[in-house]
A and B are shown apart, each in its own frame.
Chain A
Amino acid sequence: KQEVTQIPAALSVPEGENLVLNCSFTDSAIYNLQWFRQDPGKGLTSLLLIQSSQREQTSGRLNASLDKSSGRSTLYIAASQPGDSATYLCAVTNAGGTSYGKLTFGQGTILTVHP
């Protein structure tokens, strides 16, 4: 059974810092990995999707990497801002005939960026 772990559970940084969020998964048979952002009381916003054949994806100040063989992904946030404060979730789409695109989620990292 796929298990996804995110470290750290919470992170507090001053504005302007570069930071890294970590995600690991136990079964490397995945189609892709997706990073989400969730603001309090809101839904999930997709940030980046990395296919299993890719090593990294970039969107603005965000860069996500994937090492499928070792079961790891990182989300790098450059020059953090208070508006980046949110919970960040990673999720994998498992390969296999019966997966049907279901996502397995980590527990999330709560990020606080203080001015």
Chain B
Amino acid sequence: NAGVTQTPKFRVLKTGQSMTLLCAQDMNHEYMYWYRQDPGMGLRLIHYSVGEGTTAKGEVPDGYNVSRLKKQNFLLGLESAAPSQTSVYFCASRWDRVHEQYFGPGTRLTVT
């Protein structure tokens, strides 16, 4: 039981490049989330999904897209990276609103 895993762990992009972050969970959770963590700003929700095939915007969705084609996977895409997207990205999942939310180890992204 690996819990929540994220790929890659580190990445450096040039402005304008694109990339996809992959999140996978093996707990059969319905709800999945993408957060970003920045110094002084705390953790902020980017996008979330309440089930396979569904996605919705969080607090800071601009510049990101997501997809949830399979229940266990939640992908976060950056179509044209900007330096403001330099951050640590965390994926999380939970069974429902009553149960714990579990986090992945994070992806450290630098955009130059």
Which stretch from A17-25, A73-81, A93-101 is at the chain B interface? A93-101
Distance in angstroms between the alpha carbons of A14 and B6 in the assembled complex: 36
Q: How far is the CB of A40 from chain B (nearest CB, A)?
A: 11
Query: A43 is contacted by which of B31, B96, B106 (Cβ under 8 Å)?
Result: B106
The answer to whether B100 touches A34, judged by C-beta atoms less than 8 angstroms apart, is yes
Contacts of B43 in A (CB 8 A): 89, 91, 103, 105
Q: A42-B106, A105-B42 are in contact. Are A100 and B50 (CB under 8 A)?
A: yes
Question: In the bound complex, do residue A101 and residue B106 qualify as a contact, i.e. CB atoms below 8 Å apart?
Answer: no
Residues of the A chain whose Cβ atoms lie less than 8 Å from the Cβ of B45: 102-103
Determine if A28 is an interface residue (Cβ-Cβ < 8 Å).
no
* Interface residue SS majority, chain B: strand
Does the CB pair A102–B33 fall under 8 Å? yes
Whether A107 pairs with B97 at a CB distance below 8 angstroms is no
The reply on A85 being an interface residue by CB < 8 A is: no
* Least Cβ–Cβ distance between A94 and chain B, in angstroms: 9
A41 CB → nearest B CB, Å:
8
* Selected contact of B104 from candidates A43, A101, A108, CB within 8 Å: A43
User: Residue of A at shortest CB range from B43?
Assistant: A105
* Tally of contact residues, A, Cβ under 8 A: 24
Interface string of A26-50 (1 = CB under 8 A from B): 0000011010100001111110010
Q: List B contacts of A36 (CB < 8 A).
A: 103
- Are B105 and A103 in contact (CB-based, < 8 A)? no
Residues of chain A having any CB pair with chain B under 8 Å:
31-32, 34, 36, 41-46, 49, 51, 89, 91, 93, 99-103, 105-108
* Chain B residues packing against A (C-beta within 8 Å): 31, 33, 42-43, 45, 48, 50, 56, 58, 90, 92, 94, 96-106, 108
Further pairs besides A34-B101, A46-B102: 4, Cβ < 8 Å: A32-B98, A34-B100, A43-B105, A44-B90
